Amino acid sequence: MSNLNTDQQRKFYLKTLGCQMNEHDSEVIVGILTGLGYQQTENCEHADLILYNTCSVRENPERKVYGQIGSFKMLKQQNPDLLIGICGCMPQQKEELDQILTTLPHVDLVFGTHNIHRLPELLERAQTEERVVEVWDDSKGIVEDLPIIRANKFKAFVNVIYGCNNFCSYCVVPYTRGRERSRLPKDIVAEIRQLADEGYKEVTLLGQNVNTYGADLDQKATFAELLTMINDLSGIERIRFTTSHPKDIQDDLIEAIATLPKVCEHLHLPVQTGSDRILKQMNRHYTSAYYLDLVAKIREAVPDISLTTDLIVGFPGETETDFQETLNLVEKVKFSSAFTFIYSPRPGTPAAKMPDQIPEVVKKERIYRLIELQNQISHEYMQAHVGKTEEILVEEITTKTCELSGRTRTNKQVLFSGSPDLMGQLLHVKIIEAKTWSLKGVLA
Ligand code: SAH
Ligand code: SF4
Ligand code: F3S
């Protein structure tokens, strides 16, 4: 890679779209590029390499990628040495890959989610070859020990299981991320021990469905067992995880959340819809009654738990009655917050071919009603914090107001004034005001 070590340091601009999995993949990409001597820039006009780590879960963000990458043609005219790359979930789909290759001829480098570790070689080839495209279908193995430069100094993402076996009928992720593959417990524990040595206080364990962690290992393990091992590591103070499929939540996991002191009282439990008919069409393998029972059981074991969810409106065939059932469920559960999505047909998924696709106006009207209801519930949830004292991990300084920012164990953001020396500490903060998405506090 001698041509990379020129006097003037090469710069890369990295844009990350999509879920935490992609955010964490980008931390690996930053680690690799930094190791190659590149420096990160926030300004794409200063970059020698522009890389988009893409998401395929809905259509709109995909369309934007085509627009943005299209506009970089100009930059390339100004700087003929500029390399432009697309990685992440979009190239993992055949239709999308073809479209990238035909409609974006100025893209030099395309790779997928299974071959990020190949970036040094791909980049070297891209310096001389017309275009480098390498997308792997699936990867049986897991590549350990890649360099990672994390976005935060105190909280870290840690992969525990890759891929998804669930094939919810609307979802593209099983096609872009392949089948479930668990990391070995010893590798996960070693990574977290190292993080603790570096001063990290919090880990978020990542998987499309962490609840099936360990089922594919020769020496079977469960997610609850993994949590117990991590709970024993000194230095780490908080353990979070995402995502949990409701069908796979076992009693031992609920027990682990209730009893392990470092496991935080927050569970992201995507329900998607309150209609049993639509749940079936979605291939979710549970009913709304099952979900409500599960919520009751979890709340009995962990009374202060914050439950958050994902909801889709306008799935094919969704009637006003089906939608009312979603509103009813949301009303009953009282999620502390929810991600709400308009159903987006994804090529290659069964739902995209289902009859009775819902018109855009109906989808929009439904999502507005859903958001209004959830906002009201979220607001009440936030309001109930006022006057209470919460344990906060100080994570960041806000750029606008220079306040300190941290999160409660239930994952709500709290802003308060304090010295920058407090970064990385666990502190008690008294909540004095609730806003829609954050809380304001004073050091207790
Ligand atoms: N594995 C996680 C996250 C999957 S993607 C899980 O199962 O919860 C995150 C969310 O995007 C999903 O929960 C779903 O609500 C939403 N989503 C997925 N595919 C979608 C589609 N085609 N249209 C709209 N929303 C979708
Ligand atoms: Fe998609 Fe369903 Fe897998 Fe989540 S569990 S990633 S929604 S297929
Ligand atoms: Fe998007 Fe891929 Fe994540 S499709 S939601 S970035 S797994």
Tokens representing 120? Answer: 């040094």
Q: Which ligand has the minimum distance to the alpha carbon of residue 272?
A: 1
DSSP string, 64-98: HHHHHHHHTHHHHHH-TT-EEEEEESGGGSHHHHH
**3 state SS of 202:** strand
Q: Is residue 3 part of a domain?
A: no
- Residue whose CA lies nearest to ligand 2 atom number 2: 168
Nearest atom of ligand 3 to the alpha carbon of 113: 2
Last residue of a domain, one of 383, 416, 435: 383
Sign of the C-alpha dihedral computed for residues 311, 314, 315 and 320 taken in this order: positive
Domain shared by 204 and 342, yes or no: yes
Ligand 1 site, residue 310, Cβ cutoff 6 A: yes
**3 state SS of 167:** coil
How high is the pLDDT of residue 47? Answer: 96
Tell me the CA–centroid distance for residue 96 and ligand 3, in Å. Answer: 14
Instruction: Count Cβ atoms within 10 A of the Cβ of residue 128 and give its class: 0-12 exposed, 13-18 middle, 19 or more buried.
Output: exposed
- Measured CA distances, 51 to 103, 263, 296 (Å): 17, 35, 45
> Measured between alpha carbons, how far is 46 from 34 in angstroms, rounded to an integer?
16
How high is the pLDDT of residue 123? Answer: 96
- Residue whose CA lies nearest to ligand 1 atom number 11: 57
- Residue whose CA lies nearest to ligand 1 atom number 12: 310
Domain shared by 231 and 326, yes or no: yes
Of the candidates 404, 410, 342, which has an alpha carbon nearest to the alpha carbon of residue 371? 342
- Measured CA distances, 78 to 46, 70, 72 (Å): 11, 15, 10
Tokens representing 28? Answer: 């690996």
Question: How many domains does one find in the chain?
Answer: 3
Q: Which ligand has the minimum distance to the alpha carbon of residue 350?
A: 1
Give the residue numbers spanning the domain of 81.
11-134
Q: What is the signed CA dihedral for 260, 261, 266, 269, rounded to 10 degrees?
A: 0
Distance from chain centroid for Cα 326:
24
Question: What type of residue sits at position 287?
Answer: T
Q: Which ligand has the minimum distance to the alpha carbon of residue 90?
A: 3
Q: Which ligand has the minimum distance to the alpha carbon of residue 54?
A: 3
pLDDT beneath 70: ranges in the chain: 1-7, 139-140
Domain shared by 377 and 412, yes or no: no
Distance from chain centroid for Cα 151:
14
Tell me the CA–centroid distance for residue 401 and ligand 2, in Å. Answer: 38
Tell me the CA–centroid distance for residue 172 and ligand 1, in Å. Answer: 9
Tokens representing 158? Answer: 């840690």
Nearest atom of ligand 2 to the alpha carbon of 177: 6
Q: Is residue 5 part of a domain?
A: no
Tell me the CA–centroid distance for residue 57 and ligand 1, in Å. Answer: 7
Tokens representing 66? Answer: 């085509």
Q: Is residue 207 part of a domain?
A: yes
Question: What type of residue sits at position 215?
Answer: A
Domain shared by 307 and 162, yes or no: yes
> Measured between alpha carbons, how far is 245 from 6 in angstroms, rounded to an integer?
49
Nearest atom of ligand 2 to the alpha carbon of 283: 2
CATH number for the domain including 15?
A: 3.40.50.12160
How high is the pLDDT of residue 139? Answer: 67
Ligand 3 site, residue 173, Cβ cutoff 6 A: yes
Domain shared by 339 and 423, yes or no: no
Ligand 2 site, residue 344, Cβ cutoff 6 A: no
> Measured between alpha carbons, how far is 276 from 319 in angstroms, rounded to an integer?
12
Q: Which residues contact 237 (CB under 8 A, 6 or more apart)?
A: 201, 202, 262, 393, 426
Domain shared by 329 and 268, yes or no: yes
Instruction: Count Cβ atoms within 10 A of the Cβ of residue 199 and give its class: 0-12 exposed, 13-18 middle, 19 or more buried.
Output: exposed
Domain shared by 394 and 364, yes or no: no
> Measured between alpha carbons, how far is 195 from 187 in angstroms, rounded to an integer?
12
**3 state SS of 350:** helix
Ligand 1 site, residue 312, Cβ cutoff 6 A: yes
Q: Is residue 143 part of a domain?
A: no
Ligand 3 site, residue 411, Cβ cutoff 6 A: no
Ligand 1 site, residue 171, Cβ cutoff 6 A: yes
Ligand 1 site, residue 243, Cβ cutoff 6 A: yes
The alpha-carbon radius of gyration of the chain (Å, integer) is 23
Domain shared by 34 and 123, yes or no: yes
- Residue whose CA lies nearest to ligand 1 atom number 18: 171
Domain shared by 364 and 399, yes or no: no
- Residue whose CA lies nearest to ligand 2 atom number 1: 171
Tell me the CA–centroid distance for residue 243 and ligand 3, in Å. Answer: 12
Ligand 1 site, residue 248, Cβ cutoff 6 A: no
CATH number for the domain including 439?
A: 2.40.50.140
Q: Which ligand has the minimum distance to the alpha carbon of residue 243?
A: 1
DSSP string, 269-289: ---B-S-HHHHHHTT----HH
Q: Is residue 150 part of a domain?
A: no
Q: Which ligand has the minimum distance to the alpha carbon of residue 61?
A: 3
Lay out the sheet containing 109-111: strands in order across: 39-40, 11-16, 49-54, 83-88, 109-111, 132-134
Residue 243, preceding bond cis, omega within 30 degrees? yes
Q: Which element (helix H / strand E) includes 155?
A: strand 155-159
Ligand 1 site, residue 57, Cβ cutoff 6 A: yes
CATH number for the domain including 349?
A: 3.80.30.20
Ligand 2 site, residue 173, Cβ cutoff 6 A: yes
E strands present in 263-398:
266-268, 306-313, 337-342, 389-397
Ligand 3 site, residue 243, Cβ cutoff 6 A: no
Nearest atom of ligand 1 to the alpha carbon of 208: 1
Domain shared by 230 and 278, yes or no: yes
Q: Is residue 437 part of a domain?
A: yes
